[in-house]
Structure 1
Amino acid sequence: MKRSLFYFLLVVVVSLMVGCSEKDSNVKTDTSASSGGKVEEGNSATADMKLVNDGKLTFAMSGLLKPLNYKENEKLVGFDVEIGKEISKRIGLNPNPVTNPWETILQGLRGEKYDAIIGSMTATEERKKQVDFSDPYYISGATVFISSKNKDIKSLDDLKGKTIGVMQASTYVEDAKKYTDKIKEFPSEIYALQDLPPGRLDAVITDKIVGITAMKESGLEIQTVGEELKREEIAVAINKNNQVLLEAINKAIADMVADGTYKEISTKWFGKDLLE
């Protein structure tokens, strides 16, 4: 009888250990991330935030969007990463940035693989049907880029019927459809922009910041065309029915702006305040 009970308990313990160790293969954790100070688990202020991991704010991004979020020496860095770490610190949590393919990043959030998306996601009305968004943490705009050698495209009207590159599952897919049905989707805007100089694409629609940074840092011979297609409010996405976490994130963003920390981070990466 005792031996039977022993084996029964052993099976239960092993089953629990296996269940707790399961991870989604698409989600990659940046093990080098550190908050600079350990936060006690079970903090009463964060108890109602419905966190994936106690004591941590796990936030996702593609990791392919330089200078917003990308890997350098196997470590996640960039503007989004620093904003995420600062938010985490201010709400009493350790930061846990992870990567997930952009085309499934919303599904991963709704599947509770992470607590938030801090990865330069535009707060669109369509996305608001699935998740909640914080107040914006930067403002940008969709912009058209072409090769510097392209003499055929002089205005947005000239995009009609051209081959346009965009990031997979981005809002830019719909923007491109207004001009053409020749649309090529890429896992990263950087890959699309690199196809402009050799002429594999006629144009790319992407975030203004991403394109301008590629021009300056990578030396890509590209240029903008026309005015911004639209103004975009970039915000933190979290699951619905998590008001406690949403309010905490909004307060953290507001406090960062008020005490000058936000401007300091933004100026470090872009030379200006992206909320102005």
Structure 2
Amino acid sequence: MKLKMLLMALAAMALLPVANAAKADDKLELLVPGEISVATEGTYPPFSMRAPNGDLDGLEIRVMKEIARRLGLNYRPVLVKWESVLIGLEADQYDIISDGMDITSERQKKVTFADGWLESGGRIIVHDGSNITKPTDVKGRTVGALVASSWTKLAEGLGGDVKTYKSESDAIQDLANGNIDAVITDSIAGAYDIKTSGLPLKMVEEPISSIQKGFAVKKGKPHLVAAVNKALADMIADGTYAKLTIDLIGVDPAPKDPIRTLAD
């Protein structure tokens, strides 16, 4: 009898680490304990794209993978089209959005953003021979922008005739083919597109906005947001963030004064 009780006690003790791990995961408000599911497009260089070997790579992929590692979580990417990424978050199809999403006051009403993880802004890309030399020159011209993005509103505000695209690469190709007059996109993405595409394109020097990008979480998950914020701050402080990003784009895009998480 004593031997049976001893064996039962030992079995209970062996389960303690598992129970404690489950409790820790529960505190992070994850859909699946031990795993962080992350929405990304996989088609928005240099934020998310395919490496030569077929694996996902890019700024957001590298940073979020490192965050997952520091939190002791399995990183599981979920490929989602940009126009439905917020719908999927609300429907609990994944834990967090890493897609290159600008932090805006309108979006802050719908989701909780972790602290800003990257600083960039809107820029205009034109053909090499274009006479568009400043943002106001796009008035009355056909301007391409990613559907449901902040770039469409910027284009409209400048008086452009907006044509929307489901893929950034489609807009760039249309511009190169002379089907539109300009494309408004993220400055980092635009510079990368011009550098790697070999197309006869250039970027208008004057920026049209300054923004920060944030990882979006469904409202009501403060512990997950706090954990992501700490991991992000730690990797910036110890130089890991710079190594991951400079290797890809040549600069460290960490915000000097990040936009902080707003309480739900």
Q: TM-score range by the shorter chain?
A: 0.7 to 0.9
Instruction: Quote the Cα distance in structure 2 between the aligned partners of 1:274 and 1:154.
Output: 25
Distance 2:242 2:253 in 1: 8
| 1:50 corresponding residue in structure 2 | 29
Code of the residue aligned with 1:253 in structure 2: it is L
For normalisation by structure 1, the TM-score amounts to 0.82
**Counterpart code for 1:154:** T
- The code of the aligned residue for 2:105 comes to E
* TM-score computed with the length of structure 2 as normaliser: 0.85
Which residue is 1:252 aligned to? 231
Q: Which has the higher contact order (CA 8 A, sep 6+)?
A: 2
Q: 2:38 aligns with which of 49, 52, 59?
A: 59
Shift of 1:44: 3.0
1:157 aligned to 119, 123, 136, which one?
A: 136
Q: Report the equivalent of 1:139.
A: 119
Provide the rounded CA distance (Å) in 2 between the counterparts of 1:133 and 1:228. 24
Deviation of 1:181 (Å) = 5.3
RMSD over aligned CA atoms reads: 1.5
* Contact 1:148-1:197 at 8 Å conserved across structures: no
Q: Which residues of structure 1 form unaligned runs of 5+? A: 1-39
SS at match of 1:229: coil
Asked if the contact 2:142/2:181 (under 8 Å) is kept, the reply is yes
Residue in 1 that maps onto 2:166 = 187
> Which residue identity is paired with 1:173?
T
- What are the Cα deviations for residues 118-176 of structure 1, in whole angstroms up to 9, with x where unaligned? 111111110011100011111001001100121x3222221110000000111101001
Q: Distance in 2 between matches of 1:154 and 1:231?
A: 19
One-letter identity of the residue aligned with 2:246: T
Aligned residues: 236
Letter of the 1:68 counterpart: F
CA contact (8 A) 2:138 2:160 kept: no
Paired position in structure 2 for 1:270 = 249
Question: Identity of counterpart residues, as a percentage?
Answer: 36
Q: Provide the C-alpha distance between the structure 2 equivalents of 1:175 and 1:87, rounded to a whole number of angstroms.
A: 32
Gaps of 5+ in 2: 1-17, 257-264
Q: Which residue of 1 aligns with 2:212?
A: 233
Alignment of 1:24-173 (within 5 A): 42-72=21-51, 73-150=53-130, 152-173=131-152
Conserved? CA contact 1:46–1:92, under 8 Å: no
2:189 matched to 1:199? no
Kept in 2: contact 1:133–1:235 (CA 8 A): yes
Tell whether the 8 Å contact from 2:134 to 2:206 is kept in structure 1 after alignment. Answer: no
- Give a deviation string over 1:60-91, Cα, whole Å, max 9, x none: 11111012101244422111111111011111
Name the residue aligned to 1:30.
none
- Runs of 4+ in structure 1 over 4 Å off: none
Instruction: Identify, as 1 or 2, the structure richer in helix.
Output: 2
Other-structure match for 2:11: none
Cα distance in structure 1, aligned partners of 2:205 and 2:177: 22
Residue range with higher mean Cα deviation, 51-60 or 237-246: 51-60
CA apart distance, 1:211: 1.0
